[in-house]
Homo-oligomer: A and B are copies of this chain.
Amino acid sequence: MKDVKAFVFDVFGTLVDWRSGVAREAAPFLQRHGRGAHEAEAFADAWRALYQPAMEKIRKGERPFVKLDLLHRENLEQVLPQFGIDSRQVPSSELDELNLAWHRLDPWPDTVEGLTQLKSRYIIAPLSNGNIRLMVDMAKRGGLPWDAILGAEVAQAYKPSPEAYLRTAEVLALPPESICMTAAHNSDLAAAQKCGLRTAFIARPREHGAAQTTDLKPEGKWDWVASDLVDLARQVG
C-alpha cells in the first residue's frame, strides 16, 4: 500500500453526476423562460464548457482567486444568451437559485459505500475545484462522509495548478507520496503525479452522456485502476 495515509478525490464527474443533476435543475428554468426541457442536457454541457476558461484566468494570475460559486454564477449569465434568454430579464434571485444546482448533484451509486469503506482506514477529503460550502451542501444532501473539505478554496489555487496538490499535502502534513489522488480524469492524475502524489483512476463513461469519447480508460501509469470506488476500497484493503 506504499504507505498511503489519505485519499483525496476529484468530485465533479468522479463522485457525482454533474450533467444529469444540472440538467434536472435547469429543465424547469428553461421551461419557465420559453425553452424546451429537452435542451437541459445541452444547457448543462454549455454551462460546464465555460468552467475551464473561467479558472484558467486565475491559474494564469490574470485574476485573483475567487470561489467556484462565483465563477459558476458569472458563467450562467454568459451561457443564457446561447439559449435565447436575456439574463437581464431574469430576476437575480432566480439565477442565484439555479446556480445552486451545482450544490445538489447526486453521487454515483458506488460513491457513498466506497468512501465509507475507505474512511475506516484512511483520511478522505475532496480535492475538488468546488468551494467549501458547495462541497458541504453536496455532502450533507448525498451523505458523503468526508473527514475534511479540502481543495481549491483551502489551497487558493485551481487544479491542475501544482499549488492545488502541494498545498493540500501541506495541510494534511503528509509527503505527497502518502496521498492518493483519485479521479475519473487522466489530466488531473497526470498533474497530481507530477507533484509526487499517488494516483487512482476510475472510469466514469457516462459523465458526459452516452456519447462520451474521453477518459474511457487509463492513459498513464497510475498506481491503481478500479472499476468503481467500492472496487478501489477492496484493492487498497
A residues sitting closer than 8 Å to B (CB atoms) are 69, 123, 131-133, 135-136, 139-140, 146-150, 153-154, 171-173
Contacts and interface: CB of A to CB of B under 8 A. Distances in A.
Q: How many copies does the complex hold?
A: 2
B135 A69 contact: no
20 contacts: A69-B173, A123-B136, A132-B148, A132-B150, A132-B154, A132-B171, A132-B172, A133-B171, A133-B172, A133-B173, A135-B148, A136-B147, A136-B148, A136-B172, A139-B147, A140-B147, A146-B147, A147-B149, A153-B171, A154-B154
Contacts of A136: 123, 147-148, 172
Contacts of A135: 148
A93 to B, nearest CB: 15
Contacts of A133: 171-173
Contacts of A148: 132, 135-136, 146, 148-149
5 closest A-B pairs (Cβ-Cβ)?
A148-B149, A133-B173, A136-B148, A136-B147, A132-B171
A136 B148 CA distance: 7
Among A135, A139, A150, A171, chain B packs the most CB atoms within 10 A around the CB of A171
A148 B130 CA distance: 13
A123 B138 CA distance: 12
Contacts of A149: 147-149
